[in-house]
Amino acid sequence: MATGAIDEASNMKVILKHHVSGSPQETDMHLTAGTIKLKASGGSNAVVVKNLFLSCDPYMIFKMMKLERHYSDSYTPGSPITGYGVAKVLDSAHPDFQKDDLVWGLTGWEEYSLITETNHLFKIQHTDVPLSFYAGILGMPGMTAYIGFYELCSPQKGEYVFVSAACGAVGQLVGQFAKLQGCYVVGSAGSNEKVDLLKNKFGFDEAFNYKEEPDFTATLKRFFPEGIDIYFDNVGGKMLDAVLLNLRVRARIAVCGMISQYNLEQPEGVHNLTSIVMKQARMQGYLVFEYYHLYPKYLEMILPKIREEKVVYVEDIADGLENAPAALVGLFSGRNIGKQVLRMAGGEQVVRNKQVILKNYVTEGLPKESDMEAREGSIQLKVPEGTKDAVVVKNLYLSCDPYMRNRMKKLETSSYVASFETGLPLSGYGVAKVLDSTLPDFKNGDFVWGMTGWEEYSLIIEPDRLFKIQHTDVPLTYYTGLLGMAGMTAYAGFYEVCSPKKGEYVYVSAASGAVGQLVGQFAKLLDCYVVGSAGSKEKVELLKNKFGFDAAFNYKEEPDLDAALKRYFPEGIDIYFENVGGKMLDAVLLNMRVHGRIAACGMISQYNQGRPEGVHNLMHLVGKQVRLQGFLVGDFYHLYPKFLEMIIPYIKEGKIAYVEDIAEGLESAPAALVGLFTGRNVGKQLVVVSHD
């Protein structure tokens, strides 16, 4: 525990008990407690970090040995093991790192570390991907794969590529890079499960279990009858000897590692090196840190591929520092599947964050669930240092709204709301609980509604449309609809735009939806005659028996909409609350009364059309002196207190009813949103993210 006055904390760490020879054992390491000062001394360029993820890597075995000549110093027995990791800065004397920055690089196998050599410490700029990725695909292993394949091997489309230890942290990436280059790719691994992963997850053309192959040379001839252009060597030994016999002219071998040799007292001899001469092959070893200056270039290449799922990454995550020795030892027996990572426990939270992202733009037609995808990112549950006017929230309920359909398109012309960005979470209205805030108007524990992300947690940096919830004696879900944007839309459209009078004739399309059900009830409270249309008999019954409409009809059963409206409005329509557009609007225009008002709230029938239907009867606006007015609810939010003053008593007195269609779980959000455009919902469609 921190002692506060002297900024000191207890610090669990994994130390090396003694240097090893042969295969390392868990007993070669020991978990012990120490203390650490959480302040970086001035003028030192040092940083103090809290470690979040630690990386287990094959090169670490050399550091566990007592080696006289090596590119990396041996560990010191009695001191913490070091390696790559992901951490959060607690204090810094370095100008490039600030408190609360997230970083990756070399750190200690301990809860907290004082890092004095920061030349290989990288600030993390992209947090829309899992933080653990910076121990792998976005860290040292990713750079190792990138440099070895692209910089050393200079691959050409159509070449033949072989990757050993292909299911590991590096190999799984090399194979995918090669496939993106249009190469033929074969990988080897040490179990049938891993072989299946290579072919079915990572997209290798072929793969084999080397433990089931008595003759590597024959195996490689079987998979590469024309020879190998590129070999990415992670194994060495007998596999390298077999590859040398199967090389094509001017082949390239990137020597990343030789894990089969690491536990041997005397490395195996490689006998077929004369093939290097005969085939004019190039065999090159390399150290990744010599290429870290290319890291920005690598990020530019890899991040879009991760977001677009053109590259996938498998991690094997162990939890808790106490499991670190077993995780590292397992690496050398092939126990891991994918990148072996250790997730630290406790401390200030950086949590995994389930999100719904837009995979691709939907230009026309109905959106599909497959246009969206649930994935995991990570988030820091504190507002980043130096960020003004921001809040971190835990999302409880998300609203599905028709306007979101336009945001799923790549809008070429300016619009009142921007397109969603592919690869990033959708956003929309929701209800949330504040976890951290730099704004005086919002405190931890406050409930709020407004624009948020389609994810478990969100950092909201534009909170001007965020409203604190004052009334919690009504269902919180109501703030996604009745007491939120939908309610304000109905209120502003009906009262402010249409200026209704007692006894007028009111027609509402899409009347059982989030907005329509309210407009009809507002009109009845003003003693208007109200008719609504909906897309099913169930919804028609709801309009008449639940919401008190005078009449309602199923538009799908009306072959002539003009005749249907004449039947329900023989004297014409004073107010039309427009949610549909298209043929319905055309029929309404024929039935408007003099000085009628049309509030154009939405036109959901047109959102999935490549080219909107033509509306032919607009001349009736002139003859009937009708006002057709579009509006955006955002222009009326200054009236929200006035709206609450009206609506809260109506809710409590039972004068307003509200029906919700609730989907459970963030993973159900794509189906809920898509269902909105086929009329599958009954009432206000919302998604429960958490019942907190």
Contacts (Cβ under 8 Å, ≥6 apart) of 617? 586, 589, 590
d(CA 607, CA 620): 24
Please, what is the end-to-end C-alpha distance for the chain in angstroms?
29
Using the predicted structure, report yes or no on whether residue 127 has a pLDDT greater than 50.
yes
Inform me whether the pLDDT recorded for 69 exceeds 70. no
Instruction: Report the half-sphere exposure of 514 (CA within 13 A, side-chain side).
Output: 29
Residue 289 DSSP SS3: helix
Give dist(CA 125, CA 590) in Å, integer. 58
114 neighbors 46 (Cβ within 8 angstroms): yes
* Element holding 458 (H helix, E strand): strand 457-460
Percentage of the chain beyond pLDDT 90 is: 73
Q: Which residue has the tokens 């959708």?
A: 426
Say what the pLDDT of residue 71 is: 66
Q: Is the pLDDT reported for residue 334 higher than 90? A: no
Confidence of residue 610 (pLDDT cuts 50, 70, 90): low
What is the three-class DSSP state of 272? coil
The structural domains of the chain, ordered by start, are 8-127+315-343 (3.90.180.10), 140-307 (3.40.50.720), 350-481+668-688 (3.90.180.10), 485-657 (3.40.50.720)
Among residues 291, 284, 295, 289, the alpha carbon closest in space to that of 153 is found at 284
- The one-character DSSP state at 169 is T
For the chain, helix, strand, coil in percent to 5 are 30, 30, 40
Q: What is the largest CA-CA distance in the chain?
A: 100
- The pLDDT value given to residue 381: 86
Residue 3 pLDDT > 60: no
Between 261 and 94, name the one with better pLDDT.
Answer: 94
Tens-place pLDDT, residues 453-504 = 999 999 998 888 899 999 999 999 999 999 999 999 999 999 999 999 999 9
Mark out the alpha helices in 201-246 (DSSP H runs).
216-223, 237-244
Selection from 132, 105, 659 nearest residue 343 by Cα:
132
Average pLDDT, the chain: 91
Transcribe 417-437 into DSSP letters.
SPPPPTTSB-EEEEEEEEEEE
State residue 456's pLDDT score. 95
Residue 349, pLDDT score: 59
- Dig out the tokens for 497 from the structure: 């735009």
pLDDT at residue 500 in the model: 97
Using CA atoms, how far apart are residues 139 and 298, in angstroms rounded to an integer?
10
Provide the pLDDT for residue 607. Answer: 66
Residue 231 has pLDDT above 70, yes or no: yes
- In this predicted model, what pLDDT tens digit does every residue of 616-656 receive, in sequence order? 888 888 989 999 999 889 899 999 999 999 999 999 999 99
- Residue 4's pLDDT is 37
Which whole number is the average pLDDT over 13-41? 92
Which pLDDT score, from 0 to 100, does residue 414 have?
66
Residue 151 has pLDDT above 90, yes or no: yes
When pLDDT is cut at 50, 70 and 90, the band that residue 520 belongs to is very high
Single pTM value for the model: 0.57
423-444 pLDDT, tens digit each:
999 999 999 999 999 999 999 9
- Contacts of the segment 221-224: beta carbons below 8 A, 24+ positions apart: 221/246, 223/162, 223/186, 224/160, 224/162, 224/186
Q: CB neighbours of 278 closer than 8 A, spacing ≥ 6?
A: none
pLDDT at residue number 5:
37
pLDDT at site 249: 96
pLDDT in tens, 152-164: 999 999 999 999 9
